[in-house]
Structure 1
Amino acid sequence: MSTNSQDNKDGSDEKSALKEELNKKVKEKKIVVDELSNLKKSRKVYIQQRNSNVFFLADRGQTLSHCKKELDVMKKDLQDM
């Protein structure tokens, strides 16, 4: 029985750590969305290519829309936990 309770404790600790990490990412994404929302229309936006240090010029509106969608998905995942 002690093994079972230990497994449950480890599982809840792991779930708590995942939830904390996701919550941190949600906060970061909120800041990105806020920053993009408050940019002047004439400002340029660059996005980083995945797993690379290369940045590409991007459309501000499309980038904002994409970030909002990602934020919504993250919030939903956080609520489902």
Structure 2
Amino acid sequence: MSSTNSQRTEPGAQEDHAQKEELNKKIKEQKTVVDELSNLKKNRRVYTQQPNSNIFFLADKAETLSACKKDLDNMRKDYQDI
């Protein structure tokens, strides 16, 4: 009986756990993006997708990498705050 009681959690705690799992998944995806951008050859082109669109525009690799690293840092900070 004690095992069933220990598995019960408050609804808010379940939401936090689901939010934390989702954020962890996004962090892993962002790490992959940063690693891929970091390992590109110098002459490779990078394109960014416009929000809510299927249009891609040529972007600066260094700026894109920097923006992705900032996003990753912000995600990690949010993850620690949860």
TM over 0.5: yes
Give the fraction of aligned pairs with identical amino acids, expressed as a percent: 66
1:19 deviates by 0.4
1:36 deviates by 0.1
Length, aligned pairs only:
74
2:22 corresponds to: 21
Q: Which residue identity lines up with residue 71 of structure 1 in the other structure?
A: L
Unaligned runs of 5+ in 1: 1-7
1:67 corresponds to: 68
Unaligned runs of 5+ in 2: 1-8
Aligned-partner SS, 1:43: coil
Q: Which residues in structure 2 correspond to 1:8-47 (within 5 Å)? A: 9-47=10-48
Distance 2:52 2:11 in 1: 31
Q: Which residue identity lines up with residue 42 of structure 2 in the other structure?
A: K
TM-score (norm 1): 0.89
Alpha-carbon RMSD: 0.9
Aligned-partner SS, 2:40: coil
Where does structure 1 differ by over 3 angstroms across 4 or more consecutive aligned residues?
none
